Amino acid sequence: MNYVKGNFASTHQHPHEQCGYVISGEYRLNMEMPEENIEVLLHAGDSYAIPGNTPHSFEVMESGEVVDVFTPPREDYL
Tens digits of residue pLDDT in 51-62: 999 999 999 999
CB within 8 Å of 42: residues ≥ 6 apart:
22, 26, 27, 28, 29, 48
3-class DSSP assignment, residue 45: coil
Predicted TM-score (pTM) of this structure: 0.90
Tens digits of residue pLDDT in 3-59: 999 999 999 999 999 999 999 999 999 999 989 999 999 999 999 999 999 999 999
- Other CB atoms within 10 Å distance of the CB of residue 46: 15
